[in-house]
Amino acid sequence: MNHILSDKPGVRNLVEICAAKGIRYVIISPGSRNAPLNISFNEHGAFTCLSIPDERCAAFVAMGIAQQTGIPAIVTCTSGSAALNFAPAISEAFYQKIPMIVLTADRPDEWINQGEGQSINQRNIYHNYILKDYHLHLDTQDQDNNWSNNRMICEAIDISASQQGPVHINMPFREPLYGKRDYTNVSLPKIHQLQKTEFSLDSFTMEKCSQQFNSTAKVMILCGLIPRKNTELQQYIESLSSKAVVLSETTSNIQGKGIHHHIDALLTQYDKEAFKPDLLITIGHSFISKKIKLWLREFGPDDHWHISEDEQAQDVFQALTKHLRLSPNDFFRQLSLADNPDKTYPQLWKNHAVRVSRKHHQFMDSCPWSDFKAFSIILPHLPQYTNLHMGNSSPVRYIQLFPVREDILYNGNRGVSGIDGSTSTAMGAAYLSGQPTTLISGDIAFFYDSNAFWNHHLTGNLRIIVINNQGGGIFRLIAGPPSTGQLEEFFETKHDFKAKGICDTFHIPYYFAENSEELEAILPQFYAPQNNDRPAVLEIFTPREINDSVFRDYYHNLK
Amino acid sequence: MNHILSDKPGVRNLVEICAAKGIRYVIISPGSRNAPLNISFNEHGAFTCLSIPDERCAAFVAMGIAQQTGIPAIVTCTSGSAALNFAPAISEAFYQKIPMIVLTADRPDEWINQGEGQSINQRNIYHNYILKDYHLHLDTQDQDNNWSNNRMICEAIDISASQQGPVHINMPFREPLYGKRDYTNVSLPKIHQLQKTEFSLDSFTMEKCSQQFNSTAKVMILCGLIPRKNTELQQYIESLSSKAVVLSETTSNIQGKGIHHHIDALLTQYDKEAFKPDLLITIGHSFISKKIKLWLREFGPDDHWHISEDEQAQDVFQALTKHLRLSPNDFFRQLSLADNPDKTYPQLWKNHAVRVSRKHHQFMDSCPWSDFKAFSIILPHLPQYTNLHMGNSSPVRYIQLFPVREDILYNGNRGVSGIDGSTSTAMGAAYLSGQPTTLISGDIAFFYDSNAFWNHHLTGNLRIIVINNQGGGIFRLIAGPPSTGQLEEFFETKHDFKAKGICDTFHIPYYFAENSEELEAILPQFYAPQNNDRPAVLEIFTPREINDSVFRDYYHNLK
């Protein structure tokens, strides 16, 4: 550890508290007002610091890092509109439940709204989509202020880590900003630490849950977004698949025998009444399938239990009856199963799934070149143990239709499901994990976040596949836009732009394919191990005006 | 006018109110939730609609359009994080005082925080940097809701136009979103209109101001940001330059005989006590020169009058004694001047300015290739009546050191002075004005906003000059960063990226120059009238490690 840090004692305390609480990654967007922070995080020795100039990207990079670990990452910027560029990623972290410390430098309070440059009112600026906001005292000569700052910093990090979401610390600084001093003989700040809380049900409630679970003929377990693999939970869920119907979205990362993944395909031609559950149990959040939402809202289960440690349960199916506030692992560990459960309901679904799967493969055998075809070729080529990032909004929907791979970790920014920040998120995740990481992105999402490449921290394990269908293909897949007469300009955003120039700018190796044969041929080169010193982009051109009919044919074929 | 609009009556009313109140430009970021708005603005006939996919850019484009007219422009987007990408431009519009209607589509209230995609709490989401927030009623079948919505829309537009700043209208929609209907026989909504308010001083106050003005030996008039030319005001100010010292920043757009512009040069070697005013009068806002702020805060004038119609006056010099709340035109029109004013004080400054100007030209004669030299070559080559956009933060500071041109309109995003959005702002301004428009940008600002090119509305009157000094050159010009040992990575953000690939991607003609001779030779081609069907980029490479010493030599030479 280096003891020569910013000469602002409050910054020294902040940095030491962060280090003590296990924070290791700091994303810095360069600036002058945050110089005391930048200097100190860099000098301290406990932190890996990444310099990312576009704040919008920087915050998504921090989120991508924390997504892989569950440990808060810091993102810091100068004062003014810089802070506002963090906002999209903060909202995604809030709804995706990713911990993050947003550390904004500020001018002293008295100078706000007095015509100074790079100054806006930064207090509570992310209030609508953050766990908590803190505004630190400027004067840390006063010992009460000093204590108060340290207390707030401890609390902020604890809240972010324990509740898994973003917090905001706004820190005003007076000039000069660049001074350093030696803290060798200065005692460390006092640090308090929230101890791990366990949520549990009393034995009576647990017993009643087990009884109802066992006595209900039609139980469905539906798994939504869980960003990291949870092997214990997966084993519990897998073992329940003989008693209950288990539907799992890719983003749940719960895979295994007897678990159904292709929800949108399964819910194409089916008996809505016969297939509906009496008891629905959900874990995770941010369900992707619109079909299952609409179905369950209309043909509601008698009971819907949501299991999560969150303070509030979302009622996305308009059927919620029990919020079981404990970890899903704890719940399923304690669930007592009856012997010889009635398997009629899961068998009904299994038979259905076999039919759907056969039709899926029949369709794929004769599927023409299209987005759909491209996905079918890409997915089996992904290297083992890939961390797959799925862009919004078409890729995540297409990928749900293909067989899941148990070795893959599936991530997607489905908290808010914005078009922004997928590449930066994947870049952060790849940096952190060192695992093979592939983002599959549409062209709109790719151009939106092309500044993800504008930094010196790109790693060679990152691959980006851009499905370029010359616009927002999703708008051709849904019913309304083609009827407006404004489809190409104001919905689809038709264009003829290509990723190559972006790649040239940032020295990223670039590959492309325009048909199935080219794609099959290029994928092994694209993933060749000798090309692992830089990330690479593979742009796949698909026919804009055919993709939607192929997509519709797919569903038609399932009928 | 077309009467077939969205089948949502509230949207029809909104669109008719906007049309009636003179709004003509609508920037649309494509999306599904805002489909009723997109359909209706497009179909109506009164509006020019631009499709800009990156919301961060879209909002700056709207701001650039409104900057040129003072009439609010609309920017609209879908729900979720899309809205947050508008935030940087909204803060700039708020502090630069540019009118703008931010129209965000939303999901129905009851679905917020229930796990639906692209939904966040959008109420008051820009609260810290907006004139006012409105949340419209969803159910416009209810006549009170309908009346209330219309009333709020009228008020919002009136506030934006009269107070010159952004307002936010959040509009929830229930599906289906794409329906249309014919409103031919449906009566128009009732529209109320804020009548133009005049602010004035009573005659006694005005008389006292005139007396003090005339009896004070040392009067200084300092002109800050005024985004559009104001010929009447310019004439008043020019005529006062024999009695008072007039200092004018480029962004004031007040130019003329006897007016001093090179504040930073003038305030390099001077007698701080002798040069200080007894009475300081300011108009405009967002002063760029740090030197004048520091000087006047230390050697404060006895009186400081700020003249503006704004509700609050900023006290940027810590010397404010009178806020004269009326338009500067009205004030100076009514100011009675004494005959034969004492010209000693203005003469002192004029003599000083002659010396400084001579030294400036001496320096330029032998100035080596550098940022400084590049600006000296570019500025005289700008076409007549150029609208010059000055990027943050180096370009706007360099340009202040060179002779102003009275034909030029100077704009710069100096409200918050962020690095974000300069290109999009210039793109919007060029689209609106049709005038020759040049942005001079640093490389960091250029890459930050490269998505400004990602649309189909670029006009051939736009030229972008990128001064590529391989990083944030401003950090070499200020004292602190070089001492940190982290200059290149965490302050300057050193890089070797070039604009060419970005230009290739978006089909923008690209030019470059690497020394004075190349720059002199290329500028006439770059501005050749036959090249006016597309915008163009000229990238000028300057020596990163010399720019700062040239800059310092310049100031040394003035001593």
Predicted pLDDT at A103: 98
| Cβ atoms of residues A219 and A281 within 8 Å | yes
Query: In the numeric block, which tokens belong to residue B407?
Result: 């034909």
Report residue A217's pLDDT band, with 50, 70 and 90 as the boundaries.
very high
Q: Does residue A417 have a cis peptide bond before it, meaning omega lies within 30 degrees of 0?
A: no
Q: Does A389 share its domain with A433?
A: yes
Q: Does A332 share its domain with A394?
A: no
CB-defined contacts A:B, below 8 A: 251
Provide the number of structural domains found in chain B.
3
Chain A residues with CB-CB distance to B288 below 8 A: 117
Q: Which candidate in A128, A135, A487 is best for mutational testing of the B interface (most B CBs within 10 A)?
A: A128
Q: Does residue A436 have a cis peptide bond before it, meaning omega lies within 30 degrees of 0?
A: no
Distance separating the N- and C-terminal Cα atoms of chain A = 65
Report residue A477's pLDDT band, with 50, 70 and 90 as the boundaries.
confident
Predicted pLDDT at B135: 98
Q: Does A305 share its domain with A395?
A: no
Smallest Cα distance from A114 to chain B, Å: 5
Task: Please tell me which residue of chain A has the smallest CA distance to B489.
Answer: A51
Q: Does B532 share its domain with B415?
A: yes
Q: Measure the CA–CA gap between A83 and B215, rounded to whole angstroms.
A: 47
Of B352, B381, B408, the residue at which a domain comes to its end is B352
Which residues contact residue B445 at a Cβ distance below 8 angstroms, ignoring those fewer than 6 apart?
Answer: B391, B392, B419, B420, B422, B423
Of B302, B318, B352, the residue at which a domain comes to its end is B352
Minimal CA–CA distance to A44: which of A11, A72, A4, A101?
A4
Predicted pLDDT at B71: 98
Residue range A417-426, pLDDT digits in tens: 999 999 999 9
Q: B501–A503: do the CB atoms touch at under 8 Å?
A: yes
Task: Please tell me which residue of chain A has the smallest CA distance to B29.
Answer: A490
| In a domain? residue A187 | no
Predicted pLDDT at A531: 83
Q: Which residue has the tokens 């440690």?
A: A309
| Cβ atoms of residues A26 and A52 within 8 Å | no
Angstrom CA distances, B518 to A489, B185, B369, B538, stand at 40, 65, 11, 11
Minimal CA–CA distance to B555: which of B358, B268, B357?
B268
Q: Which candidate in A119, A173, A419, A504 is best for mutational testing of the B interface (most B CBs within 10 A)?
A: A419
Residue A439 has pLDDT above 80, yes or no: yes
Q: Does residue A53 have a cis peptide bond before it, meaning omega lies within 30 degrees of 0?
A: no
Residue A412 CA neighbour count, 13 Å, CB half: 34
Minimal CA–CA distance to A376: which of A358, A360, A389?
A360
Smallest Cα distance from B47 to chain A, Å: 14
In this complex, the residue of A113, A114, A316 whose CB is nearest that of residue B116 is A316
Q: A128–B129: do the CB atoms touch at under 8 Å?
A: no
Neighbours of B192 (CB within 10 A): 11
Q: Does B126 share its domain with B156?
A: yes
Predicted pLDDT at A371: 96
With a cut of 50, list the residues of chain B below it in pLDDT.
Answer: none
In this complex, the residue of A39, A478, A480 whose CB is nearest that of residue B486 is A39
Q: Does A157 share its domain with A212?
A: no
What stretches of B325-370 show up as alpha helix (H) in DSSP? 328-334, 344-365
Chain B residues with CB-CB distance to A82 below 8 A: 418-420
Which residues contact residue B304 at a Cβ distance below 8 angstroms, ignoring those fewer than 6 apart?
Answer: B279, B280, B281, B282, B315, B317, B319, B320, B321, B322
CATH (domain of A117): 3.40.50.970
Which residues contact residue A391 at a Cβ distance below 8 angstroms, ignoring those fewer than 6 apart?
Answer: A412, A422, A439, A440, A441, A442, A445, A446
Integer-rounded Cα radius of gyration of chain A:
25
Give phi and psi for B220, each to the nearest 5.
-120, 130
Predicted pLDDT at B471: 85
Q: Which helix (H) or strand (E) holds A467?
A: strand A462-468
Q: B475–A38: do the CB atoms touch at under 8 Å?
A: no
| In a domain? residue A143 | yes
Chain B residues with CB-CB distance to A423 below 8 A: none
Average confidence (pLDDT) over A370-387: 97
| In a domain? residue B527 | yes
Q: Which candidate in A49, A52, A416 is best for mutational testing of the B interface (most B CBs within 10 A)?
A: A416
| Cβ atoms of residues A252 and A223 within 8 Å | yes
Which residues contact residue B177 at a Cβ distance below 8 angstroms, ignoring those fewer than 6 apart?
Answer: A480, B32, B33, B35, B36
In this complex, the residue of B88, B118, B285 whose CB is nearest that of residue A84 is B88
In this complex, the residue of A314, A497, A505 whose CB is nearest that of residue B115 is A314
Q: Which residue has the tokens 């012997």?
A: A339
Minimal CA–CA distance to B392: which of B351, B323, B448, B334?
B448
Give the E-state strand segments of B198-334 in sequence order. 219-223, 245-248, 259-260, 279-283, 303-307, 322-324
Angstrom CA distances, A206 to A236, A279, B273, stand at 16, 16, 82
Q: Measure the CA–CA gap between B341 and A533, rounded to whole angstroms.
A: 74
Predicted pLDDT at B229: 97
Look up residue B227 and give its amino acid.
Answer: P
Q: Does A333 share its domain with A411?
A: no
Smallest Cα distance from A404 to chain B, Å: 22
Residue range A35-65, pLDDT digits in tens: 999 999 999 999 999 999 999 999 999 999 9
Q: B484–A448: do the CB atoms touch at under 8 Å?
A: no
Chain B residues with CB-CB distance to A492 below 8 A: 30
Which residues contact residue B463 at a Cβ distance below 8 angstroms, ignoring those fewer than 6 apart?
Answer: B436, B437, B438, B439, B526, B527, B535, B536, B537, B538
For chain A, what is the mean pLDDT? 96
Q: Does A299 share its domain with A376?
A: no
Q: Does B28 share its domain with B164?
A: yes
What stretches of B49-118 show up as alpha helix (H) in DSSP? 55-69, 81-85, 87-96
| In a domain? residue A194 | no
| Residue A157: exposure state from Cβ atoms within 10 A (0-12, 13-18, ≥19) | buried
Chain A residues with CB-CB distance to B504 below 8 A: 500-501, 504
Q: A32–B127: do the CB atoms touch at under 8 Å?
A: no
Q: Which residue has the tokens 């199963």?
A: A337
Chain B residues with CB-CB distance to A125 below 8 A: 128
> What sign does the dihedral B228-B232-B235-B239 (CA atoms) show?
negative
Q: A116–B316: do the CB atoms touch at under 8 Å?
A: yes
Task: Please tell me which residue of chain A has the smallest CA distance to B36.
Answer: A484
Q: Does B34 share its domain with B146?
A: yes
Distance separating the N- and C-terminal Cα atoms of chain B = 65
In this complex, the residue of A81, A418, A495 whose CB is nearest that of residue B418 is A81
Let me know how long chain A is.
Answer: 559
Q: A502–B497: do the CB atoms touch at under 8 Å?
A: no
Report residue A548's pLDDT band, with 50, 70 and 90 as the boundaries.
very high
Predicted pLDDT at A221: 98
Give the domain range for residue B493.
367-558
- Quick one: what percent of chain A has pLDDT higher than 70? 100
| In a domain? residue B94 | yes
Smallest Cα distance from B502 to chain A, Å: 6
| In a domain? residue A217 | yes
| Cβ atoms of residues A35 and A19 within 8 Å | no
Q: Measure the CA–CA gap between A445 and A314, rounded to whole angstroms.
A: 28
Q: Which residue has the tokens 């008051």?
A: B124
CATH (domain of A335): 3.40.50.1220
Average confidence (pLDDT) over A269-293: 97
Q: How many helices (H) and strands (E) does chain A have?
A: 20, 20
In this complex, the residue of A116, A176, A499 whose CB is nearest that of residue B480 is A176
Chain mean position to CA B174: 36
Smallest Cα distance from B451 to chain A, Å: 7
> What sign does the dihedral A363-A364-A366-A372 (CA atoms) show?
positive
Task: Please tell me which residue of chain B has the smallest CA distance to A76.
Answer: B490
Q: Does A272 share its domain with A335?
A: yes
| In a domain? residue A188 | no
Chain B residues with CB-CB distance to A479 below 8 A: 178
pTM of the full structure? 0.98
**SS3 label, residue B367:** coil
| In a domain? residue A119 | yes
Of B322, B352, B382, the residue at which a domain comes to its end is B352
Q: Measure the CA–CA gap between B487 and B367, rounded to whole angstroms.
A: 25
Q: Does A219 share its domain with A264?
A: yes
